[in-house]
Amino acid sequence: MSAPVLQLAGVTRDHRQGEATVQALRGVDLTVSPGELVAVMGPSGSGKSTLLHLAGGLDTPTAGRVVVEGRDLAELSAAQVAAVRRRSVGYVFQDLNLLPSLSAVENVALPLELDGVRGGMARRAAREALEEVGVGALAGRFPDEMSGGQQQRVAIARALVGPRRLLLADEPTGALDSTTGEEVLRVLRARCEAGAAGVLVTHEARHAAWADRVVFLRDGVVVDQSGPAAVAESLLPAGGAG
């Protein structure tokens, strides 16, 4: 089996709220391998988004380790973490964050150009990424000339353009109708099957069901998981919430 793209080991994240400390995550273990899509479900405040932020190096754990493509983020400088974020991690948010003044291909090429890739090469890679998610023909269109589903595909292409192999998606289907949402999940799934590792945060069971594994969070703890790997990788603390 190939090395995991993402590993969370004993990850805890405390947030201060006035005098009190709230533990957003408590001792979470999670491993995501290439080719795997893992969904994270749980009620509001269960720690889903915190988990995603930690996985993407946007936040730092209070305890435990976050390892992306073999690199322990705690051992890297801020600049090195930023480089991991640019080169290894792609984000898809509910709010697509496409720049309205740039065409689809320019939006997708942007992260590569920011990372120093020359214009022509970045655009070529961007076109390929757009082809891959089925919107190659829309490369020249601006965001307001595309449907919500098309824009979301562009956002996924942008998340995975270049060598990035970790895809983090936070409610990526939130603003879409059910059929379009399903198409987006097909694209995510296909990208993972092609070798990426994906973490999908969602509250829609129907969407989570596209994942290989579904991890259930409650009060910052992984209380259970479903899917074929559920037995192999036991993350279950005894007694559920205890």
Partner 1 sequence: MSIRHGLLALLERGPSHGYHLRAEFDAATGATWPLNVGQVYSTLDRLERDGLVAQDGPPDADGRIAYRITDVGQAELRGWFASPVSAKGAPRDELAIKLALAVTTPGVDVLRVVQTQRTATMTGLQELTRLKARADDGPGDLAWSLVLDSLVFRSEAEIRWLDHCEARVARAAARRPATPTATATATATATASATAPGAPAPAADAAPGGGRR
* Stretch of 1-9, 15-23, 81-89, 125-133 contacting partner 1, by CB under 8 A: 15-23
> At its nearest, how many Å lie between partner 1 and the CB of residue 34?
19
The neighbour count for residue 143, using CB atoms within 10 Å, is 18
Q: What angle do CA 165, 170, 173 make, to 5 degrees?
A: 105
Q: Which is nearer to partner 1, 146 or 230 (CB)?
A: 230
Distance between CA 127 and CA 138 in Å, rounded?
10
Binding status of residue 17 toward partner 1 by CB under 8 A: yes
Pull the structure tokens for residue 23: 């533990």
The neighbour count for residue 229, using CB atoms within 10 Å, is 16
Binding status of residue 214 toward partner 1 by CB under 8 A: yes
Pull the structure tokens for residue 241: 């919430």
3-state secondary structure of 116: coil
Q: Which of 5, 81, 211, 222 binds partner 1 (CB under 8 A)?
A: 211
> At its nearest, how many Å lie between partner 1 and the CB of residue 171?
7
Which helix (H) or strand (E) segment is 54 a member of?
helix 48-55
Q: Which of 74, 137, 194, 205 binds partner 1 (CB under 8 A)?
A: 205
| Count of residues engaged in binding partner 1, rule: CB under 8 A | 39
Binding site residues, partner 1, CB under 8 A: 17, 19-23, 26, 41, 43-45, 48, 171, 186, 189, 203-206, 208-212, 214, 216, 218-220, 223-227, 230, 239-242
